[in-house]
Amino acid sequence: MGKKETSKRAIYIDTFHCKMCGTCMEESPETFTMNEFTQMPEVAEDVVEVDDSVRMAVVMCPTKCIHVEGED
C-alpha cells in the first residue's frame, strides 16, 4: 500500500448544507476559495486534482457537503 494516487475529478459543494466554517479553504486553499459575492466556498475549477489536501477537506467538512465524482 503506497501513497494515495491523485486524479482529476469533478468536485461539488452542496452549499445548502454548508455552514461556512472555512475548514475546506484551510485544508486546501488552492482548491476551495471564497466566493466574494455569495460569501460561500466554491471549487476553484470544476475538475480538480484530488490530492491528500482535498481528501482531508472532504473528510474534515463537518456537514459532509463536499462531494467528489465517483466517491459518493
With b for 16 or more beta-carbon neighbours within 10 A and e for fewer, the 12-30 pattern comes to ebeeeebeeeebbbebbee
With beta carbons less than 8 A apart as the criterion, state whether 53 and 31 touch: yes
Assess 23 for contact with ligand SF4 (CB under 6 A).
yes
Least separation, in Å, of the C-beta of 25 and ligand SF4?
7
- Residue 64, classed as helix, strand or coil, is coil
Centre a 10 Å sphere on the Cβ of residue 49 and count the other Cβ atoms it contains: 13
* Span interacting with ligand SF4, options 1-9, 22-30, 45-53, rule CB under 6 A: 22-30
Mark residues 30-69: x for contact with ligand SF4 by CB under 6 A, - for none: -----------x-------------------xxx-xx---
Q: Point out which residues bind ligand SF4 (CB under 6 A).
A: 13, 18-24, 41, 61-63, 65-66
